[in-house]
Structure 1
């Protein structure tokens, strides 16, 4: 995938997510868009998801834990549908995209990012 035509520079989004991981905190779609200079709209959120997929593809190539899982809905602290469509399958998860089982998977994946980036200084 080419970075051309994306909502934001993947390197900028990656830096935001690494800072979030180092802080040990998830970040909402709205907060992420605001840091990129955008108001929250559904089309902007969907465009952000394309950048997140690009960032995760790069992380995988570098042997790093995924970062898109850190971007969550304000309402329930879980990633949106865009993450679940690809992310859940990648982890062999076939359950509901919300609720305790979904939250357990997300907490485990977020912890991997928190632990990895927390050690990076």
Structure 2
């Protein structure tokens, strides 16, 4: 399955959101049939950005925030640099304030998709 196919990647994110749990970058890449590599992760991040742009246009909560690092359960640098302005978050990308923001956004996605179910 293609990392660059927003519809395919989105389906995996919708299932995770409806189940109420985030995915690590490795888990999502594995579900797409790929081993984790940095180039594949960067390609995935571009697709995640496109998915979130479409979600915003459709009035849906963002989904890229559900993809997190295994080490600390937070999104990677690409998510932070792509969304800091939208969320007006100027703190550290790790730590309690970052975790609160991520958990709030994840709860929004979980709640939204648990009520609707994956498409």
Shorter-chain TM-score category?
Answer: over 0.9
CA offsets 1:62-114 (integer angstroms, 9 cap, x no match): 11000000000000000000000011221000000001110000000000000
Question: Which residue of 1 is the match for residue 26 of structure 2?
Answer: 30
Q: Does 1:119 align with 2:112?
A: no
1:71 is matched with: 67
Q: Which residue of 2 aligns with 1:56?
A: 52
Show structure 1 runs of 4+ deviating over 6 A: none
- Of the three residues 86, 89, 100, the one matched with 2:85 is 89
CA contact (8 A) 2:52 2:63 kept: yes
- The TM-score with structure 1 as length reference comes to 0.93
Residues 1:11 and 2:11 aligned together: no
Q: What 5-or-longer segments of structure 1 have no aligned partner?
A: 1-5
Q: With structure 2 as the length reference, what TM-score do the two structures score?
A: 0.94
Alpha-carbon RMSD across the aligned residues, in angstroms, is: 1.0
CA distance, structure 2, for counterparts of residue 50 and residue 85 of structure 1? 12
Paired residues in the alignment total 116
